[in-house]
Structure 1
Amino acid sequence: RIVSGRGCLRDFANINQFGKRCLIVTGKSSAKVSGVLADAEALLSKTGISYQIFDAIEPNPLLETVYRGGKAAREFGADFLIGIGGGSPLDAAKAVGIFATNPDMAPEEIFTSPRKDALPLLAVPTTAGTGSEVTPYSILTVPSIENKKSVAGDDLYPKVAFLDPDYTKSMPVSVTFSTGVDALSHAVEGFFMKKASLVSDALARTAIPLLAKGLRQAAAAQSASDISDETREMLLYGSALAGMVISRTGTGFVHSTGYMLTYYHDVPHGHANAYFLADFVAFMEKASPERAREIYALCQVKNADELFALISSCNAMPLDMKLPSERLSYYAERTIGTKNVANGLAAITEEELLAVLRRRLGETA
């Protein structure tokens, strides 16, 4: 269920249907700065629900952290969870819910073992990008493989997603743009996946113009206060629609390649995707020129070069990273075997992917 509009969390009347004890899962700051935490605490207190806060979630949440969160939920006796934040806390909350109901599960067994359903989750995004509030995925950082890994299941769909654009106002321009590019990546990548359907295409066709327009307006802003309420709303709702796209289609090599920059260089996820999205469309254009033309039209650009110009137009999010050739070769090798590469209408080769990496990140590019 999606509940949207300003004040939607404060006005929610049926939260006690989920139980009497709640664990709030979040990071250190965004829930407080955005105002969500205060609203959530007031709602829980008003309805007589006991709660505790687990605020240890870091950016790109570690498997060990969510394992500890699951233990905290069990010890508190939580009936349900509220996840507050960007993609990291929301993805983490899903995994916390799994570990809470599966006390004998070792951390890495979350990806492979049969399990009981996770605790019910209510999701409140404070960014407009990941779409985690409407997807069945939890993306976790696993140091043992030096990469991210996902767990999925219908039980991981949040029971309620609260979409209040006011909660995104605390995002600075750089985060607003980066998360917006992530959302655009979801909608665009999903359009070229083998699992794309009439439904996912319809969602993408609605999301992409909202996101492209929102990115143009965010790029022109000098500070967060310059970003209008209308732009915040477009980006948040576009992000949710794009999340619905990938919940049906999965993502392509933009994501798996971007994970390399995030894991090894701490580049925010959407920022990392920005390096590769235009080249992804250019590559898929060979397999489906009509779909590529439609993407360009929806973004109001003429070609992949203009799409890259749009994605790189924000001074607060420069695309200026340069890496040595041996690192790029390593990242191409690490990426090429992922399921994301195989998901697309055409599968990029390691040599073709390395050419993309060299074009965008090569020291002599």
Structure 2
Amino acid sequence: MSVNINLPRILRVGAGASDHLAPTLKHLGLSRPLLVTDPFMCECGYADRVVSGLDAAGVAHGVFAECVPDPTTDSVGQGLAALAAGSYDCLVALGGGSSIDTAKAVAAMADRDGPMRDYKVPHLIDSGLPVIAIPTTAGTGSEATHAAVITDSETSEKMLCSGLGLMPIAALVDFELTLTMPYRLTADTGIDSLCHALEAYVSRKANPFTDGVALTAMSTIYRNIHTACAEPDNRAAREAMMLAATQGGIAFSNASVTLIHGMSRPIGGLFHVPHGLSNAMLLPEVTAWSVGSAPGRYAAAARAMGLAGSGDSDSVALVKLTDGLRQLNADLSVPTPGEFGIDEAVWADSLQLMAEQALASGSPGNNPRIPEADEIVELYQRVWAG
């Protein structure tokens, strides 16, 4: 069996990696970037740091700093207007997954007509302007994926977009940019990374390349996430989480996510729950529902995370895995949908729509146990109950 593996052309990892933007642009033959970022990156000085490096190297550039959490087609439209205002030959994405996905969408839609919903999965986006990604959260892995999630401003649907045109040409992965991440963001993006690795490992599209990367990422995340949350200045834990986030992105981009992500997107689109947090809400229940269809895989994941030992049978390892994931959510104070503030009646009225949108994304079809719509509705109900 042969598989296609897609990665950024340049992947620079480690302290100070973000300072190599200007040389990376030169190496790629690019000369006029549009920096795509958000207001917080400007407030905390990270955007100025990037701009100063470009100025020092004599690189002409523009700045679009209006990215929003969980990017929408409206915010992408604003980015496209900024792109059209200058003769830019590439985009530099600085921020978390929202800024990176915004840049990817702007790059992809620069030479395309019609609304972005015309290009969601199953359509594949095969071309776009070059994107250099500089992630500032240890979570989404978007710097190493050929996917982006954009909310349709008219319908509130979180659309999955995919294709090689969305793969950054370069990624500068600098864990020092994550040292200011607050507790909640550290926890939610860390669990998001864990979901990426676990889902890639149990996916029906898993392959020998992604298996090793996914297991390593799971092991690293589970062993470091508590420390990264409790000790935000712990450089070793931050570095480990950042590397594992990129590994998780590589794993799922080349093997696919599964039911957790499929069910997560509608929660974010309809109720504005941050992406990593909605994944965290779903992780224990969806895993418990799925383990019986791939017991060897889930047991291996439990052992990689240190939740089960080499002497444990698969059946024992599966119990320890689901118990361990529930405990992880408790340790990191992951709220239920109700605790987050979602109205129970509105949640109940949205169950069928969420199930339909989850199935339409295609991700549930990669799950070891493939659900019907009514089974997804039941899972949403279990998640509400907590």
Which has the larger displacement, 3-12 or 154-163? 3-12
Residue by residue over 1:198-250, the C-alpha shift from the partner in whole angstroms, topping out at 9 and shown as x without a partner, is 1111110110011111222235x2xxx64411111111110000000111122
Name the residue aligned to 2:314. Answer: none
Residue by residue over 1:34-55, the C-alpha shift from the partner in whole angstroms, topping out at 9 and shown as x without a partner, is x431221122112221111111
Say whether the 8 Å CA contact 2:117–2:159 is kept in structure 1: no
Name the residue aligned to 1:318. Answer: 335
Distance 1:138 1:168 in 2: 21
Distance 1:234 1:31 in 2: 26
Say whether the 8 Å CA contact 1:22–1:80 is kept in structure 2: yes
Correspondence for 2:172 among 142, 145, 162: 162
Name the residue aligned to 1:55. Answer: 65
- Superposition RMSD on alpha carbons, in Å? 2.2
Distance 2:234 2:144 in 1: 24
Distance 1:348 1:338 in 2: 13
> How many angstroms does 1:116 deviate by?
7.5
Distance 1:36 1:105 in 2: 34
Correspondence for 1:252 among 225, 250, 258: 258
SS of the residue 1:78 aligns to = coil
Name the residue aligned to 2:37. Answer: 26
Name the residue aligned to 2:17. Answer: 8
Name the residue aligned to 1:295. Answer: 301
Q: Please, what TM-score do these two structures have when normalized by structure 2?
A: 0.86
Name the residue aligned to 1:308. Answer: 326
SS of the residue 1:292 aligns to = helix
- Aligned pairs, number: 356
Residue by residue over 1:286-338, the C-alpha shift from the partner in whole angstroms, topping out at 9 and shown as x without a partner, is 111111111222222223122121133113x4336263444445433443443
Name the residue aligned to 2:192. Answer: 182
Distance 1:327 1:233 in 2: 39
> How many angstroms does 1:349 deviate by?
2.6
Q: Match of 1:29, as an amino acid?
A: F
Q: Please, what TM-score do these two structures have when normalized by structure 1?
A: 0.90
Say whether the 8 Å CA contact 1:217–1:227 is kept in structure 2: no
> How many angstroms does 1:279 deviate by?
2.2
Q: Match of 2:226, as an amino acid?
A: R
Say whether the 8 Å CA contact 1:190–1:200 is kept in structure 2: yes
Which has the larger displacement, 58-67 or 193-202? 58-67
Name the residue aligned to 1:343. Answer: 366
Distance 1:151 1:249 in 2: 15
Distance 1:114 1:178 in 2: 29
Say whether the 8 Å CA contact 1:18–1:79 is kept in structure 2: no
Distance 1:197 1:116 in 2: 23
Distance 2:42 2:194 in 1: 24
Q: Match of 1:6, as an amino acid?
A: A
Distance 1:80 1:337 in 2: 32
SS of the residue 1:15 aligns to = helix
> How many angstroms does 1:106 deviate by?
4.2
- Relative to structure 1, the CA distance from residue 116 to residue 71 in structure 2 (aligned partners, 3 Å threshold; closer, same or farther) is farther
> How many angstroms does 1:152 deviate by?
1.8
- Relative to structure 1, the CA distance from residue 242 to residue 30 in structure 2 (aligned partners, 3 Å threshold; closer, same or farther) is same
Say whether the 8 Å CA contact 1:256–1:340 is kept in structure 2: yes
Say whether the 8 Å CA contact 1:332–1:354 is kept in structure 2: yes
Q: Which runs of 5+ in 2 are unaligned?
A: 1-9, 308-319
Kindly report which structure 2 residues correspond to 1:94-243, keeping only aligned pairs within 5 A, or say none.
Answer: 94-102=104-112, 104-111=113-120, 117-219=127-229, 221=230, 226-243=232-249
Residue by residue over 1:65-87, the C-alpha shift from the partner in whole angstroms, topping out at 9 and shown as x without a partner, is 21331232132010111001100
SS of the residue 1:81 aligns to = strand
- Relative to structure 1, the CA distance from residue 343 to residue 145 in structure 2 (aligned partners, 3 Å threshold; closer, same or farther) is farther
- Relative to structure 1, the CA distance from residue 354 to residue 277 in structure 2 (aligned partners, 3 Å threshold; closer, same or farther) is same
Distance 1:25 1:59 in 2: 13
> How many angstroms does 1:346 deviate by?
2.1
- Relative to structure 1, the CA distance from residue 283 to residue 125 in structure 2 (aligned partners, 3 Å threshold; closer, same or farther) is same
- Relative to structure 1, the CA distance from residue 286 to residue 37 in structure 2 (aligned partners, 3 Å threshold; closer, same or farther) is same
Name the residue aligned to 1:360. Answer: 383
Distance 1:96 1:162 in 2: 20
Name the residue aligned to 2:355. Answer: 332
> How many angstroms does 1:105 deviate by?
4.4
- Relative to structure 1, the CA distance from residue 115 to residue 295 in structure 2 (aligned partners, 3 Å threshold; closer, same or farther) is closer
Distance 1:88 1:320 in 2: 21
Q: Match of 1:266, as an amino acid?
A: H
